[in-house]
A and B are shown apart, each in its own frame.
Chain A
Amino acid sequence: MQMTLVLVVKNVSKEKKMLEIKNLQVGLEEEDKQILKGVDLKIGAGEVHAIMGPNGSGKSTLSYVLSGKDGYEVTGGSAVLNGEELLEMEPEERAAAGLFLAFQYPVEIPGVGNMTFLRTAVNAQRKARGEEELSAGEFLKVIRAKAMELEIDADMLKRPVNVGFSGGEKKRNEILQMAMLEPKMCILDETDSGLDVDAMKLVSQGVNALRSEGRSFLVITHYQRLLDHIKPDVVHIMANGKIIKSGGPELALEVENNGYADLLAEVA
């Protein structure tokens, strides 16, 4: 009887898997350089994972490869989101499947209003999933409420996407997009970079408000500070294109206090 119970529990946890990356190997298309050298990562539904690591360890590359940016060549491995192989899909298909990347450097798009951009994105995803598109009125109602929570005013919604936004405004705008698109798997690529303490709090609140059983997060950061606000379940250390150590939140503190040298030495 007991044996059966354990099996049932295991099956449930298996069903709740969100993202599973296996032995992912990635190089640059233009030059003969391997960046990711076999990354393994499993994120369960509703979990928050953090990846820390020294500069050049491949953290941002991982986020770009998962979201489908050009210029990288996957030479091996897989990345499965909710049972679907991501690496075969176009970037927009990955988004429709529930993946979202909050950019480290959000792109400025002159001439495209922020509101138009958001509505186009929301409706494109709805269409891709076979859902009815939101009317201008419905959309406006939803966005107003969500923008207010992130202290994004009407002017920021009207302005061209990210043009003339401060660093903090850009990051808040990323979180607003996340809130509007309601993805299942959110990757935050150094969302804390360029933020002051207050902005970091605001952004973290926005992220925490989105935490739910059906939504997972992968938070890429250099500093433990962000993880004070967005509490991770699991912390991974990435170095030289691999995850070299995983642990609980205490691992982030260890890095904050001692740097990466000890951890790197451990592996070597």
Chain B
Amino acid sequence: MSVADANTAANALDALSVDNTGWAADARSSALARLREMGLQTKRDEYWRYTDPATLTSQDAPQAALFDAGEKPLFDDVERLKIVFVDGVFDAEASDDLSLENVEISRLAETASADIHWAKTLYGTLESNGQDPVERPLAAMNTALASDGVLMRVTGKVSKPVSLIYRHKSESSDAILHHVIKVEQGGDITLTENGPAAARFNKVMEVDIADGASFHHVRAQGRDHERRAVTHIFTRLGAESTFKSFTLTANGVLTRNECVIELTGDDAVATVAGAAVGDGVFHHDDTVFITHDAVNCESRQVFKKVLRNGAVGVFQGKILVKEGAQKTDGYQISQSLLLDEDSQFLAKPELEIYADDVACSHGSTSGAIDEDALFYLQSRGVPVKQAQDLLVLAFLAEALEEIDSDALSEALHQRLEDWLARRSA
């Protein structure tokens, strides 16, 4: 970033203002103050060295052509409650009625003018906590400026998934959504997200999981080739609670998914997994920061990327085990399958451990398709392209296995298979 650009960005930040009415006003003002103090990120920042944030921080969103894959909507066969946003704007007509047993659902935009809301103590709180030790300016910007989002309070086991569907209809849309989910003791919910959302999408999701509660998240990011997205999940886990998140990404010129997890109660389990398939102009970045701050917790990171025709994959994953977080079990694996020599995988695994009775493992590999396996399949009569697809799916399988729901897992698996078959045809 040049000096002139930096000045423009600073001026732009100065010119920003937040909605200063209603229950979220304080959170928005302090987020804006945080953002001004931090400034927007540049490629010089340690955790942005592999991914250029310029088009995510620029004043206007770069245009993104619409893409109609001509396929049946994802998860169509799964019984669920649908909440639809079009370019970041809630679409009441396309959405289901927001009432469902054991979960209270409202929207940020709809409740903004009210003075009281249960989400007041959470909105921006986990995001703010997650700014230390690594700054995440785009998340602070989100808290300050989000136009809408879903606020969910889960009080028991929810019978079907809540599904956030993000449609993209305008080539220049610049959407900012902020969701807050509070899973209370005994609560158990599955949230799905899918769709391209906008030309540029900035999304934050704060998830507070109480003792003994469970949160399952399955996401498929939209396939519009030119779309950009920066997403953050901030989550805090109580004792014996579960957090499981899986993301499938195919296409998209730029995607940065950050996940900031804090295990604060004993015996909690957090899993974050992802499968990415990139072809051509594709840059996908998974950045994870997991803090173990309780005894006997388990965390798993499983990321797989298949890259070809110059696609770039990035993984930055850190496990921080605080003093006293004994019996921590941390597992991290990031692997890429490079289908040609033009593609690139950049990985930065980190461990920082201050407790003495912990088991942490991390592995990162990058390799080509296994020629012996390919020949073995061919020798049994499987055509080379089909054999390659089979091996690609097999490679991604380990990440997909992290999804608990068979119906959702099967839907994603089928989708992947179709994409590969169509590409090979």
B377 touches A111 (CB 8 A): no
Q: Known contacts being A107-B372, A124-B383, is A95 close to B391, with CB within 8 Å?
A: no
A96 touches B379 (CB 8 A): no
Residues on B with beta carbons closer than 8 Å to the beta carbon of A96: 381
Give a binary string over A78-91; 1 marks a CB under 8 Å from any B CB, 0 the rest: 00000000000011
Residues on B with beta carbons closer than 8 Å to the beta carbon of A67: 379
Give a binary string over A123-142; 1 marks a CB under 8 Å from any B CB, 0 the rest: 01100100000000000000
Complex Cα spacing A101 to B391, Å: 20
Decide if B397 is an interface residue (CB 8 Å cutoff): yes
B381 touches A111 (CB 8 A): no
A265 shortest CB reach to chain B, Å: 37
The listed residue (A95, A106, A109) touching B381 by CB distance below 8 A is A95
Complex Cα spacing A101 to B375, Å: 11
List B381-403 residues whose CB lies under 8 Å from chain A.
Answer: 381-384, 386-387, 390-391, 393-398
Q: Known contacts being A111-B393, A111-B397, A112-B390, is A121 close to B375, with CB within 8 Å?
A: no
Q: Report how many residues on chain A are interfacial, defined by Cβ distance under 8 Å.
A: 31
Decide if B49 is an interface residue (CB 8 Å cutoff): no
Closest B residue to A162 by CB, please name it: B376
Complex Cα spacing A208 to B377, Å: 25
B381 touches A70 (CB 8 A): no
B376 touches A107 (CB 8 A): yes
The listed residue (B371, B379, B391, B398) touching A112 by CB distance below 8 A is B391
A121 touches B380 (CB 8 A): yes
Decide if A103 is an interface residue (CB 8 Å cutoff): yes
Decide if A52 is an interface residue (CB 8 Å cutoff): no
Residues on A with beta carbons closer than 8 Å to the beta carbon of B351: none
Closest A residue to B400 by CB, please name it: A111
Q: Known contacts being A69-B375, A70-B375, is A111 close to B398, with CB within 8 Å?
A: yes
Residues on A with beta carbons closer than 8 Å to the beta carbon of B387: 92
B229 shortest CB reach to chain A, Å: 28
Decide if B102 is an interface residue (CB 8 Å cutoff): no
A124 touches B379 (CB 8 A): no
A109 touches B394 (CB 8 A): yes
A106 touches B397 (CB 8 A): no
Decide if A177 is an interface residue (CB 8 Å cutoff): yes
Closest A residue to B372 by CB, please name it: A107
Decide if B106 is an interface residue (CB 8 Å cutoff): no
Closest B residue to A69 by CB, please name it: B375
A121 touches B377 (CB 8 A): yes
Decide if A56 is an interface residue (CB 8 Å cutoff): no
Residues on A with beta carbons closer than 8 Å to the beta carbon of B393: 111-112
Give a binary string over B230-244; 1 marks a CB under 8 Å from any A CB, 0 the rest: 000000000000000
Complex Cα spacing A236 to B387, Å: 35
Residues on B with beta carbons closer than 8 Å to the beta carbon of A68: 375, 378-379
A121 touches B381 (CB 8 A): yes
B258 shortest CB reach to chain A, Å: 28
The listed residue (A69, A106, A124) touching B382 by CB distance below 8 A is A124
B379 touches A95 (CB 8 A): yes
Decide if B373 is an interface residue (CB 8 Å cutoff): yes
A124 touches B375 (CB 8 A): no
Residues on A with beta carbons closer than 8 Å to the beta carbon of B376: 103, 106-107, 109
A104 shortest CB reach to chain B, Å: 12
Decide if A181 is an interface residue (CB 8 Å cutoff): yes
A107 touches B373 (CB 8 A): yes
List A151-203 residues whose CB lies under 8 Å from chain B.
Answer: 160, 177, 181
Q: List 5 A-B contacts (CB under 8 A).
A: A70-B371, A91-B378, A111-B391, A120-B386, A177-B380
